[in-house]
Structures are given as C-alpha cells and as structure tokens.
Amino acid sequence: VFVADLGKRLPAEELLRAPYAHLALAIFTLSALPPAALPAAFAHLHACLLPGGRLLLRDYGRLDLKQLKYAQVAGARLPGGHGLEWYSRGDGTTAAFFTREAVVALANAAGFVVEDVRYDRRLIVNRAQQTRMYRVWIVAVLRKESLGEKRPHIATFVL
C-alpha cells in the first residue's frame, strides 16, 4: 500500500513493483483532479493492476446537486476538457463532473476494457428540513485486459 498523487508521476519504487493489485478503488477522488491530469491518473491506475484486475470508480455525475449549486456562482465554472464540466469550490479546491462518455474515453485511452458505466441517480429527502436533494453519481467497472485477451473495439453502456 502506498499514497501517491494520481495526477503526477508515480514514485519510481512503486513503478518497479507494478503491477501488483487485483483491485483499485477510486471513490470521489478523480473529480478532485484537474481534467488535464485525468489521462495520467487513469494510466497510473491501469499500470498498477494485474492482468484481469479491476478499477471500481464512483464519482460525481453531470447534473448532480453540487454541480447545479456551483453553476449558480459567478466565475465558478472553469475551462475543462475531456468532456467534463469543472468548477471551483469556495475553499479553493475544484470538482469535475463526469459523463458516461468521458469515463469511457478516459478508460479506453488508458487501456481499460469497460465492463459497466452508468449513472446512479438518487432522490434524498431530509424530512427535518423539508428539502429534496437530487444526486447523480457515475459508477464504473473497468478491467485491465487479461494476457492474450482481444479488446473489443467499441465500448457499450449498461443503462
């Protein structure tokens, strides 16, 4: 186990040991990276996985409640890229909001086989405050192809 900034180069000692993981989790982490750093982050995650290993991803989806709140703030939207909408938060950090198409493009570019990518839409009700919150998250299962496996040319979506 090690800690590294996925948007930057992995430490040499970790690259020498890669691949070593059957599973990687990216839960609300990739959205914190600038869009320009995402291709490298996906590539680093791919490099760490053993053949047949999987990346389980859960992050903010396009039109999530948080994105709609940020969109109301003047100057909060930043120039993105990679099909993402990118916003500045009040604390100086940033947040990207993913589409299925963006996840598929980033995953395919890194060499992943897309097993599943979908939106998880939820209505959360706070009865005490009488508020309704419409949440949208992106969920994906990405696999590093096994040795000798032929990659499909087209990614498919599970709706």
Task: Return the pLDDT at 116.
Answer: 97
Residue that has been written with the tokens 């590093």 in this structure: 144
pLDDT per residue over 99-125, tens digit each?
Answer: 999 999 999 999 999 999 999 999 999
Is 12 within the bounds of a domain?
A: no
Is residue 121 within 8 A of residue 136, CB to CB? The reply is: yes
pLDDT for 11 beyond 80 = no
User: Is 41 a member of any domain?
Assistant: yes
Residue 86 lies in a domain: yes
In a domain, 149, yes or no: no
Task: Identify the domain containing residue 31 by its residue range.
Answer: 20-144
pLDDT, one tens digit per residue, over 36-86 is 999 999 998 998 899 999 999 999 999 999 999 999 999 888 886 667 889
**Number of domains forming the structure of the chain:** 1
Contacts (Cβ under 8 Å, ≥6 apart) of 4: 10, 11, 14, 44
Q: Is residue 90 part of a domain?
A: yes
User: What per-residue confidence (pLDDT) applies to 159?
Assistant: 44
CATH of the domain at 66: 3.40.50.150
